[in-house]
A and B are shown apart, each in its own frame.
Chain A
Amino acid sequence: MERSFKRALGALDDVFVFLEEALAAAGADAQSAYAVNFAVEEFFTNMVKYEPGGGHEVSISIEREADRLTVRMVDSGVQPFDVLSARTPNLLDPLDKRPVGGLGIHISRELLDSVAYKYENGRSTITFVQTLGA
């Protein structure tokens, strides 16, 4: 299943409606569905944050093969920006030293089996894989 969304925070509700539909169709378990929601929201809001301008859309596709879900997010008309290169904040810092940002990418990577970033012809593509549980 594939759909395109306006690159804007206001499109997030539509993204979640699509995910609910696509994850149900793929027979995803609750834990996998949570991981996909979390990661898609994280990457989508990052795309909005770093390229807020202009009429482009973000397309999201979800495919199931055996027990693996592959999610692909394509952001067109953008400069290269590899969100996966972000440094993990030190999670062991005491409260007053812990940074508020930078957590989402780290948690997404922990939840998912694998994540990859590719840039080609003005398009950023994030592909991630989630193995379905029982």
Chain B
Amino acid sequence: MFSITVGDDGAIHLAGRLDASRVEQAEAVFNRVTDTCRVDFSDLQYISSAGLGMLLKTQKRLSTSGKSLILVRMNKLVRDVFRIARFDLVFQIDEEENPPLKLG
């Protein structure tokens, strides 16, 4: 299963498996992004080259207006694939992110 949701803060949340038969569903959301945007990978178990290509295409489009995707909370297996693709050179990939502080 795959799901993509956009939070109130505009951040995109990916969950499940993003493969070639789900990439159009994801692309429909990414195509509407016009500003710098965080993409939360914490619930994404799998991404194939179809998803990588879609993200790269989005990043190229955003960069022409000085915007970008910021990728956060990847699991280790997904991160390995991003490293092999050398996406660390063209994306900001936040390795660790502290959970939000709960006050009061």
Contact segment of A6-14, A50-58, A64-72, A118-126: A6-14
**A interface, by DSSP: helix, strand, loop or mixed?**
helix
Are B81 and A45 touching (Cβ within 8 A)?
no
**B interface, by DSSP: helix, strand, loop or mixed?**
helix
Are B49 and A42 touching (Cβ within 8 A)?
yes
Of the candidates B52, B57, B63, B77, the one whose C-beta lies within 8 Å of that of A34 is B77
- Report 26 cross-chain contacts, Cβ distance below 8 Å, ordered by A residue: A34-B46, A37-B46, A37-B48, A38-B46, A38-B48, A38-B49, A38-B81, A41-B19, A41-B49, A41-B50, A42-B48, A91-B89, A92-B86, A92-B89, A95-B60, A95-B63, A98-B90, A100-B56, A101-B53, A103-B49, A104-B49, A104-B52, A107-B52, A107-B84, A111-B81, A111-B84
Q: Kindly state the separation between the CA atoms of A100 and B17 in the bound complex, as whole angstroms.
A: 20
Residues of B within 8 A of A37 (CB): 46, 48
Q: Kindly state the separation between the CA atoms of A34 and B86 in the bound complex, as whole angstroms.
A: 18
Residues of A within 8 A of B63 (CB): 95-96
Residues of A within 8 A of B17 (CB): 16
Residue of B nearest to A44 (CB): B20
Measured CB to CB, the closest approach of chain A to B24, in angstroms, equals: 10
Measured CB to CB, the closest approach of chain A to B21, in angstroms, equals: 5
Q: Kindly state the separation between the CA atoms of A107 and B46 in the bound complex, as whole angstroms.
A: 14
Using a CB–CB distance below 8 Å, which chain A residues touch chain B? 9-10, 12-13, 16, 30-31, 34, 37-38, 41-42, 45, 91-92, 94-96, 98, 100-101, 103-104, 106-107, 110-111
